[in-house]
Amino acid sequence: MTDHISQANLNALADGELSADQLSLVNDHLAACPACTTAALVQTLLKTNIAKAGQRYTMPAGMEERLKRLATSDTAGRPRPSGRSAIAGWATAAAIFLVIFSGLILMQQGRRRTELAALAYQAQVSEVSDLHIATLAAGLGPQVLSSDRHTVKPWFQGKLPFSFNLPDNLPGDTKLDGANLTYLHNQPVAQLLYTIGRHRVSVFLTERRTGEPMAERQSDHSGFKVASVGVGDLDIVAVSDVDPVRLAELVSMIKNVQTGTRS
Amino acid sequence: MTLLPWKRVAQKPGPQTSVFEDLAVPLLPALYNVAFWLTRNATDAEDLVQESFLKALRGFAGFEPGTNFKAWIFRILRNTFLTSRSGLEATRTVALEDELDEQSVAGPGLYPEGAIDRQTPEINLIRLADRAMLQAALEKLPPPLLEVILLCDVEEMKYKEIAVVLDIPIGTVMSRIARARTALRKTLQAQDAQPRERGA
């Protein structure tokens, strides 16, 4: 080797990446070339010092334990995380009780249909609100973590007995964070997770097998706004603490994208 | 709203989780260190490590036993960073040429001819550079060069492993390492020149 050692080979030498043949050639050259020896020394010294300086940040105390606990609960809870399912169970039981109770009243007092429908709606509002709160409280990431609708939608294939579309071109501060598979009234539903500004939004998509499409309406529950609408055989219910106008806008976008395109 | 209390059944981690934890937990300090360097923020670093850890756990079934777990989980961390807000900002603002420039291919043109000199200004500079100087130089590296130098020098990964983590050819790994070290040396020289200029 008569030419000087290339920069790439000097790096490879410092990094221990030269093959035996290359190392032999380089060593021969170094024995005869003070300039390359100095250069190799610089690279090695730099590497050693960077290795020390790069070890800069120490994990906060308790983070390891927290991640271990998360790992345990994440595995044990899938596909239905235990915290969520427990809350969902209580909420479902409450909803079932309300529905049965409503049914009895309906038989006895047919005139009160409207009032009972409101109760059922309130039960649903209560249940979706509980699911939304449970999602926020659990602090876990979505089961499918993606802002890409082409990732989120296919993730539900085989998990839900229905399909849906997700809107593109969301407003600037609105972002799809991912989605969860969850349960309402013992039926699997899609829980889409959005962020509007700093506000988290859950949008529940459920398949309606009987009855009229859900009327477009908004209500309050436990400090959260709930917006709902039906389209085709799909019910859309969104929960958030965001401005109700923004929530309605998102629900409207999701509704519009279903029209005529549902598979 | 009052949530009714419920009894949580004690859950034991499955064997898969146990294997995953055995492999992943020892790497958490290294993942956090790299995450902090990339995000430059403790909160974002914690979030990045947590997200990557859970992604790795959920995808652990797809990990091929016998292959390099460290490279696998660092790749998840890196991909998660790229899709994060700070990662997207980083990739938007940095354009890289991955070809080695003429100078880096030609040889040690930077170095003077002559006898082996163990007291050149540059050697002395690197030798005497304190941690803060080196860390400041690292902070000035663009993310693609910073990540490659962290994986190579701090995590002591082989070029082949780095290529897996960054999903780039080995030649690109080599060129980025060369560019990173050249940039580090230039920054150190500039830092060294500043006090002297001020003093003059």
Q: Under a CB-based contact definition with an 8 Å cutoff, are residues B25 and B42 in contact?
A: no
Q: What is the pLDDT of residue B123?
A: 66
SS3 A172: coil
Q: Under a CB-based contact definition with an 8 Å cutoff, are residues B188 and B134 in contact?
A: yes
Q: Could A35 and B149 be called an inter-chain contact, meaning their C-beta atoms sit closer than 8 Å?
A: no
Token pair in block for residue A128: 């979706």
Residue that the structure tokens 């039960």 belong to: A123
Chain A CB within 8 Å of residue B91 CB: no
Q: Under a CB-based contact definition with an 8 Å cutoff, are residues B77 and B35 in contact?
A: yes
Q: What is the pLDDT of residue B3?
A: 42
Under DSSP, the state recorded for A232 is: T
B82 CA to chain A: closest CA distance, Å?
12
Q: What is the pLDDT of residue B53?
A: 92
Q: Under a CB-based contact definition with an 8 Å cutoff, are residues B165 and B171 in contact?
A: no
At A77, which amino acid appears? G
Number of inter-chain CB pairs under 8 A, A vs B: 202
Chain A CB within 8 Å of residue B191 CB: no
* pLDDT, tens only, A45-60: 889 889 999 999 999 9
Q: Tell me the C-alpha distance between A259 and A213, whole Å.
A: 13
Q: Tell me the C-alpha distance between B146 and B30, whole Å.
A: 15
Q: Hey, what's the torsion of the CAs at A138, A139, A143, A144, to 10 degrees?
A: 150
Q: Could B123 and A141 be called an inter-chain contact, meaning their C-beta atoms sit closer than 8 Å?
A: no
Q: What is the pLDDT of residue B170?
A: 92
Closest CA to A238 of A257, A219, A212, A263: A219
Q: Which of A74-83, A152-161, B24-33 has the lowest mean pLDDT?
A: A74-83
- Supply the pTM of this predicted model: 0.53
Q: Under a CB-based contact definition with an 8 Å cutoff, are residues B1 and A133 in contact?
A: yes
Chain A CB within 8 Å of residue B107 CB: yes
Q: Tell me the C-alpha distance between A137 and A28, whole Å.
A: 65
Closest CA in chain A for residue B172: A8
Rounded to a whole number of angstroms, the distance between the first and last alpha carbons of chain B is: 70
Chain B residues close to A60, C-beta within 8 Å: 42, 46
CA gyration radius, chain B: 21
Closest CA to A241 of A129, A87, A123, A125: A129
SS3 A243: coil
Chain B CB within 8 Å of residue A222 CB: yes
ipTM exceeding cut-off 0.85 for this assembly: no
What order do you get walking across the sheet with A224-231 strand by strand? A144-145, A174-184, A187-196, A199-207, A234-240, A224-231, A217-221
Q: Under a CB-based contact definition with an 8 Å cutoff, are residues B127 and B40 in contact?
A: no
Chain A CB within 8 Å of residue B135 CB: yes
Residues in Cβ contact with B136 at an 8 Å cutoff, skipping those fewer than 6 apart: B187, B191
Rounded to a whole number of angstroms, the distance between the first and last alpha carbons of chain A is: 68
Chain A residues close to B126, C-beta within 8 Å: 42, 45-46, 49
Closest CA in chain A for residue B100: A8
Closest CA to B156 of A52, A113, A120, A123: A52
Residues in Cβ contact with B5 at an 8 Å cutoff, skipping those fewer than 6 apart: none
Residue that the structure tokens 């006090």 belong to: B195
Chain A CB within 8 Å of residue B36 CB: yes
Note which residues in 138-157 of chain A have CB less than 8 A from chain B.
Answer: 140-141, 145, 147
Share of chain A above pLDDT 90, in %: 24
* pLDDT, tens only, A231-250: 888 889 999 999 989 999 99
Q: What's the average pLDDT block by block, 10 residues per block, for chain B (200 residues)?
A: 42 66 93 94 91 89 87 92 72 49 42 50 66 89 92 94 92 92 88 60
* pLDDT, tens only, A191-220: 999 999 889 999 999 887 777 777 788 888
Chain A residues close to B42, C-beta within 8 Å: 57, 60
Chain A CB within 8 Å of residue B138 CB: yes
Phi then psi for residue A221, to 5 deg, are -155, 120
Q: What is the pLDDT of residue A63?
A: 92
Taking all residues of chain A, what is their mean pLDDT, rounded to a whole number? 81
Question: H or E segment at A260?
Answer: none
B107 CA to chain A: closest CA distance, Å?
4
Phi then psi for residue B105, to 5 deg, are -80, -35
Residue from A4, A17, A29, A50 whose CB has the most chain B CBs within 10 Å, to mutate: A50
Q: What is the pLDDT of residue B102?
A: 37
Q: Could B36 and A57 be called an inter-chain contact, meaning their C-beta atoms sit closer than 8 Å?
A: yes
Note which residues in 19-58 of chain A have CB less than 8 A from chain B.
Answer: 34-39, 41-43, 45-47, 49-58
Q: Could A60 and B42 be called an inter-chain contact, meaning their C-beta atoms sit closer than 8 Å?
A: yes
Give the C-alpha distances (Å, rounded to integers) separating A41 from A31, A47, A183, B63, B117. Answer: 13, 10, 64, 39, 10
Which of A20-24, A180-184, B95-99 is predicted most confidently?
A: A20-24
Question: H or E segment at A24?
Answer: helix A20-32
Q: Tell me the C-alpha distance between A44 and A13, whole Å.
A: 8
Q: What is the pLDDT of residue B6?
A: 41
| A257: confidence class by pLDDT, cuts 50, 70, 90 | confident
Q: Could A34 and B116 be called an inter-chain contact, meaning their C-beta atoms sit closer than 8 Å?
A: yes
